[in-house]
């Protein structure tokens, strides 16, 4: 690029007699300026407009819509569990995923060729009708889409459906097939905010609502949503007091040998007895506890309480069954975990072999080499190790072989479908044979029916946990069960096949 600057000098008669000036090559300067501008406005990873540029665009959209009296929508899109992908597959793969996601988002709101391919699809049709749907990346796994000139909120809903469908198609990243979902929040000008900043904030709040609804869905902003945020803050502060006020308790769910009906162990499951809310399940308060870091202290309480209970049963002369507790990621990562476990076991006189620690695949696979050290130290202590919700995370088979684990717990989503879905039955069969090869025990979680039990036995699985045998019980109820020496043979007899099964066992 060339920049010229000239002056002229006139002669006595007024005609130009001389021109002088400079001719400069400013390509580099211009490039640098353009580059600066680009860096300031665009996201380096995806090439999409960044937060700053998006905010400017949004402000313009507000002005335009005010002038023309039209409506437009802002979508806030956040990937579900992106952190887990980053943690398990590494940041380079995470980056690759974000680039792919940005391209698919672009495809969802771009007109023309993309639309033509599947024009019967209502999402694509909506996308065609909406001109200049624009995608931006705000941060991390947060994206926005601005939908100009909406005719109705349904247009936005259809685009959101399209986005969810596009996201849920598997991504191939470095040879890994990765499945992600997204949560989408939608705010519409002017009813959900007349200022750019308010619209964005409300789209964000709507996205959180979509997450609360179970993720992989979209949600429109509604004014009363603000109360949900307030509610969460309240729970946070109450949870801080829950420990001091002794509001936490444990329920115990039996793990049953479905061939003999004997209880082989129990899993301790945390509950929160709230003065007004009643008994709060862990699905509600554990995420809040994890966000605030309170989970570490709560996990220490669980270990203490479970061992105290073991001692009570032992002192009462009841059989020494396995006690399983769940480990959250921050607890697993605490450097004094092994010492704390050892100390607690000693204080209550609990044999290490009767304690089982459950952790999910994602907890173990993140920083797998560090996890290996902790697991080995726990094994040396003599405690059992179990992988919880197995089959839902990303396990590396080579780690699985090297980790000193004792047990795989088949996630209940597979068990749920074992009688109706051949794929799930096949997955269970594969997990069982994997466990056999690696000499691990298998436990099926969430067994609810006799039919499921029968199919699981056919697949070679014999230890089961689920409502079919027993819901999680209070310590008193479980003590009663153990005192009576009850087993679950009656459950087995009620199943049509069980008599033959039992004859075989006996
Ligand atoms: P999890 O470790 O996979 O525990 C099993 C969950 O499945 C329990 O839910 C149990 O009540 C439920 N369940 C058992 N049988 C059935 C069945 O037949 N059908 C159905 N639909 N569900 C069944 P719960 O008690 O609500 O706990 C949920 C999760 O919360 C646990 O999943 C675990 O991840 C976490 N959690 C519970 N207690 C603790 C704890 O003390 N510490 C930590 N870090 N996490 C905990
Ligand atoms: Mg568990
Ligand atoms: Mg589980």
**Ligand 3 centroid – CA 273 distance (Å):** 22
Can you give the pLDDT at residue 111?
Answer: 55
pLDDT tens column, 363-422? 999 888 899 999 999 999 999 999 999 998 878 888 889 999 999 999 999 999 999 988
* Token representation of residue 426: 């096949």
Radius of gyration of the chain from Cα atoms? 30
Q: DSSP per residue over 70-104, as a string? A: -EEEEEEEEETTHHHHHHHH-HHHHHHHHHHHHHH
**Ligand 1 centroid – CA 228 distance (Å):** 24
Assess whether the C-beta atom of 359 lies below 6 angstroms from ligand 1. no
- Number of structural domains (the chain) is 3
Question: What is the arithmetic mean of pLDDT over 274-295?
Answer: 90
**pLDDT exceeds cutoff 70 at 362:** yes
In a domain, 506, yes or no: no
pLDDT tens column, 366-378? 888 899 999 999 9
Atom 35 in ligand 1: residue holding the nearest Cα: 282
Task: Give the residue ranges of DSSP H helices in 188-224.
Answer: 196-212
Task: Give the span between the Cα atoms of 257 and 265, in whole angstroms.
Answer: 9
Can you give the pLDDT at residue 487?
Answer: 82
Assess whether the C-beta atom of 388 lies below 6 angstroms from ligand 1. yes
- Domain identity same for 254 and 390: yes
In a domain, 479, yes or no: yes
**Ligand 2 centroid – CA 100 distance (Å):** 34
Under the phi-then-psi rule, with left for phi > 0, alpha for psi from -120 to 50, and beta for the rest, what region is 317? left
User: What CATH number does residue 304 fall under?
Assistant: 3.20.20.450
Atom 33 in ligand 1: residue holding the nearest Cα: 326
Question: What is the arithmetic mean of pLDDT over 101-114?
Answer: 75
**pLDDT exceeds cutoff 90 at 255:** yes
**pLDDT exceeds cutoff 50 at 124:** no
In a domain, 237, yes or no: no
- Domain identity same for 256 and 111: no
Of 188, 222, 256, at which residue does a domain stop? Answer: 222
- Which of 337, 464, 365 is closest to 407 using CA atoms? 464
Range of the domain at 463: 242-492
Question: What is the arithmetic mean of pLDDT over 227-246?
Answer: 79
- Domain identity same for 197 and 265: no
In a domain, 228, yes or no: no
Percent with pLDDT over 90 in the chain:
60
Q: Cβ contacts of residue 22 below 8 Å, gap of 6+?
A: 4, 5
Q: What is the mean pLDDT of the chain?
A: 87
**pLDDT exceeds cutoff 80 at 505:** no
In a domain, 231, yes or no: no
**pLDDT exceeds cutoff 70 at 115:** no
- Domain identity same for 327 and 456: yes
- Domain identity same for 327 and 437: yes
Assess whether the C-beta atom of 446 lies below 6 angstroms from ligand 1. yes
* Token representation of residue 304: 């203490």
In a domain, 227, yes or no: no
Residue 448 banded pLDDT, cuts 50, 70, 90 = very high
- Terminal Cα-to-Cα distance of the chain (whole angstroms): 91
Task: Give the span between the Cα atoms of 256 and 264, in whole angstroms.
Answer: 6
Residues with C-beta atoms within 5 A of ion ligand 3: 388-389, 445
**pLDDT exceeds cutoff 80 at 455:** yes
Can you give the pLDDT at residue 128?
Answer: 46
Can you give the pLDDT at residue 6?
Answer: 66
- Domain identity same for 16 and 135: no
Can you give the pLDDT at residue 116?
Answer: 33
Question: What is the arithmetic mean of pLDDT over 68-85?
Answer: 92
pLDDT tens column, 189-214? 998 999 999 999 999 999 998 898 88
**Residue 420 to residues 1, 85, 270, 415, 423, Cα–Cα distance (Å):** 68, 30, 31, 10, 9
**pLDDT exceeds cutoff 50 at 80:** yes
Residue 287 banded pLDDT, cuts 50, 70, 90 = confident
**pLDDT exceeds cutoff 60 at 467:** yes
Question: What is the arithmetic mean of pLDDT over 5-13?
Answer: 69
Atom 4 in ligand 1: residue holding the nearest Cα: 269
* Token representation of residue 199: 């619209």
Residue 426 banded pLDDT, cuts 50, 70, 90 = very high
- Which of 151, 152, 99, 156 is closest to 127 using CA atoms? 156
- Domain identity same for 189 and 268: no
**Ligand 2 centroid – CA 168 distance (Å):** 27
- Domain identity same for 194 and 51: yes
Task: Give the span between the Cα atoms of 426 and 434, in whole angstroms.
Answer: 12
Assess whether the C-beta atom of 287 lies below 6 angstroms from ligand 1. no
Task: Give the span between the Cα atoms of 80 and 17, in whole angstroms.
Answer: 73
Task: Give the span between the Cα atoms of 387 and 468, in whole angstroms.
Answer: 22
Q: Which ligand is nearest to the CA of 265?
A: 2
**Ligand 3 centroid – CA 326 distance (Å):** 9
> Which ligand 1 atom minimizes the distance to the CA of 251?
25
- Domain identity same for 102 and 21: no
Give CA torsion, residues 298, 303, 309, 312, to 10 deg.
-130
Q: Which residue has the higher pLDDT, 156 or 456?
A: 456
Assess whether the C-beta atom of 250 lies below 6 angstroms from ligand 1. no
pLDDT tens column, 261-281? 999 999 999 999 998 889 999
Assess whether the C-beta atom of 282 lies below 6 angstroms from ligand 1. yes
In a domain, 346, yes or no: yes
In a domain, 233, yes or no: no
**Ligand 3 centroid – CA 63 distance (Å):** 51
- Domain identity same for 147 and 53: yes
Query: What count of other Cβ atoms lies within 10 Å of the Cβ of residue 209?
Result: 20
* Token representation of residue 99: 């680039």
Can you give the pLDDT at residue 168?
Answer: 87
pLDDT tens column, 12-56? 676 766 766 666 676 676 777 777 777 789 999 999 999 999 999
Containing 255, the helix (H) or strand (E) segment is strand 248-257
**pLDDT exceeds cutoff 60 at 224:** no
User: What CATH number does residue 133 fall under?
Assistant: 3.30.70.270
Atom 41 in ligand 1: residue holding the nearest Cα: 270
- Domain identity same for 386 and 431: yes
- Domain identity same for 304 and 394: yes
**Residue 75 to residues 44, 46, 158, 196, 492, Cα–Cα distance (Å):** 22, 18, 12, 12, 52
pTM of the complete model: 0.61
């Amino acid at each position: 690029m060339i920049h010229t600057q000239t002056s002229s000098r006139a002669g006595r008669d007024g005609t130009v007699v001389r021109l002088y000036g400079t001719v400069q090559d400013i390509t580099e300067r211009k490039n640098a300026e353009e580059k600066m501008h680009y860096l300031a406005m665009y996201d380096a990873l995806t090439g999409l407009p960044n937060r700053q540029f998006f905010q400017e665009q949004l402000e313009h959209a507000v002005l335009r819509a005010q002038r023309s009296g039209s409506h437009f929508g802002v979508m806030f899109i956040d990937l579900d569990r992106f952190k887990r992908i980053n943690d398990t597959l590494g940041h380079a793969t995470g980056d690759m995923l974000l680039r792919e996601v940005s391209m698919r988002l672009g495809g969802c709101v771009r007109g023309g060729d993309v639309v033509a391919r599947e024009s019967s699809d209502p999402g694509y049709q909506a996308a065609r009708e909406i001109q200049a749907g624009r995608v931006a990346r705000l941060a991390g796994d947060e994206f926005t889409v601005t939908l100009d000139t909406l005719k109705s909120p349904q247009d936005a809903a259809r685009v959101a459906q399209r986005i969810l469908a596009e996201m849920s198609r598997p991504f191939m990243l470095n040879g890994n097939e990765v499945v992600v979902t997204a949560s989408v929040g939608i705010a519409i000008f002017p009813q959900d905010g007349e200022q750019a900043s308010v619209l964005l904030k409300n789209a964000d709040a709507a996205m959180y609502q979509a997450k609360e609804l179970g993720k992989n869905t979209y949600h429109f902003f509604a004014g009363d949503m603000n109360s949900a945020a307030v509610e969460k803050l309240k729970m946070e502060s109450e949870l801080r007091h829950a420990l001091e006020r002794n509001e936490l308790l444990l329920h115990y769910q039996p793990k049953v040998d479905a061939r003999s009906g004997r209880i082989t162990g129990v899993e301790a499951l945390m509950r929160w007895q709230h003065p007004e809310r009643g008994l709060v399940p862990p699905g509600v308060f554990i995420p809040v506890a994890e966000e605030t870091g309170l989970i570490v202290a709560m996990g220490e309480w669980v270990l203490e309480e479970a061992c105290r209970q073991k001692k009570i049963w032992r002192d009462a002369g009841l059989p020494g069954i396995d006690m399983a507790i769940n480990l959250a990621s921050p607890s697993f990562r605490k450097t004094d975990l092994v010492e704390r476990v050892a100390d607690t076991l000693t204080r209550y006189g609990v044999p290490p072999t009767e304690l089982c620690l459950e952790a999910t695949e994602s907890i173990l696979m993140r920083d797998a080499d560090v996890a290996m050290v902790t697991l080995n130290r726990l094994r040396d202590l003599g405690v059992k190790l179990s992988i919880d919700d197995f089959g839902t995370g990303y396990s590396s088979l080579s780690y699985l072989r090297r980790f000193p684990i004792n047990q795989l717990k088949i996630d209940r989503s597979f068990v749920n479908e074992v009688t109706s879905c051949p794929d799930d039955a096949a997955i269970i069969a594969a997990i069982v044979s994997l466990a056999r090869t690696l000499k691990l025990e298998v436990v099926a979680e969430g067994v609810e029916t006799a039919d499921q039990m029968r199919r699981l036995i056919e697949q070679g699985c014999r230890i089961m946990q689920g409502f079919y045998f027993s819901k999680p019980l209070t310590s008193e109820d479980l003590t009663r069960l153990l005192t009576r020496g009850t087993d679950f043979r009656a459950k087995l007899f009620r199943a049509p096949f069980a008599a033959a099964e039992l004859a075989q066992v006996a």
